[in-house]
A = this chain, B = another copy of it.
Amino acid sequence: MSFSPLVDRLLESLRVLPGVGPKTAQRMALHLLERDREGGRRLASVLDQALEHVGYCRRCRTLTEEALCSICSSSRRDGSVLCIVESPADLLAIEDAGGYRGYYYVLHGHLSPLDGIGPEDIGLDQLEARLDEGGVEEVILATNPTVEGEATAHYIAEQIRERGLRLSRLAYGLPMGGELEYVDGGTLSRAFNGRQPFLGE
């Protein structure tokens, strides 16, 4: 037994959303059809518009409906630093943390040979072109602290090493406010190896 064909198609379509299984899709579909048709119509229309108009910033590849994103169009950023992130969400997290004033470059993923994701798929050819523009003196490799993010950072470092730019990687260590006993062993050992002189100020 199932719902009507069109409701079944809606359930199936909702499952393209990450983390949405059959039960959740059913709850979502019934909610929209029974309780919030207006919200559902708005969602369908905005989703359609976003997929039509949102593309990658032609300079940093973050998501934007303009040719250049708001950061790339700003002249008040520091053009000598370029921070490479895996996702627009990482870019946002760094902006929200505050303090960084340079530009970004968004990979939209990481290298993953087993999934057939190679250098061009994460825009590394375009990264070369970006660096060819000149002006960049330091590249910050802010890929995720995962095996794949680490491998991607190393690959990029190799690729651009001959340019003689300063290369840096975000520090590994204890998360602020965490308790030592709950920190995983890999992080703890990284924090030990990366220990800094304590100035006792």
Residues facing B in A1-32 (CB within 8 A) are 1-7, 9-10, 13-14, 16-19, 24, 26-32
B43→A7 contact, CB < 8 A: no
Contact of A37 among B34, B51, B88 (CB under 8 A): B51
Is A129 part of the binding interface, using a Cβ–Cβ cutoff of 8 Å?
Answer: no
Tell me whether A33 and B89 are in contact in the complex, defined as CB-CB below 8 angstroms, given that A10-B47, A13-B43, A44-B48 are known contacts. no
Classify the interface of chain A: helix, strand, loop or mixed: helix
Cα A34 to Cα B197 with chains together (Å): 42
Which of A60-68, A161-169, A175-183 participates in binding chain B? A60-68
Q: Say whether A70 faces chain B, with CB atoms less than 8 Å apart.
A: yes
Residues from 34 to 76 in A contacting B, C-beta threshold 8 Å: 34, 36-37, 39-51, 53-54, 63-66, 69-70
Say whether A89 contacts B26, CB under 8 Å. Answer: yes
Give chain A's interface residue range (CB within 8 Å of chain B). Answer: 35 or more
Which chain B residues lie closer than 8 Å to A14 at the CB level?
A: 43
Task: Note all chain B residues with C-beta closer than 8 A to A18.
Answer: 27-28, 31
Decide if B34 touches A108 in the complex (CB within 8 Å).
yes
List the B side residues contacting A16 at CB < 8 Å: 32, 36, 39-40, 42-43
User: Do A4 and B51 form a contact, CB below 8 Å, given A27-B18, A43-B14?
Assistant: no
Q: Is the CB of B10 within 8 A of A33?
A: no
Binding site for B on A (CB under 8 A): 1-7, 9-10, 13-14, 16-19, 24, 26-34, 36-37, 39-51, 53-54, 63-66, 69-70, 87-89, 92, 95-96, 108-109
19 CB < 8 A contacts A-B:
A1-B95, A2-B92, A4-B65, A5-B65, A7-B63, A10-B47, A13-B39, A13-B46, A14-B43, A16-B39, A16-B42, A17-B28, A18-B28, A30-B87, A32-B47, A33-B51, A41-B48, A44-B51, A48-B48
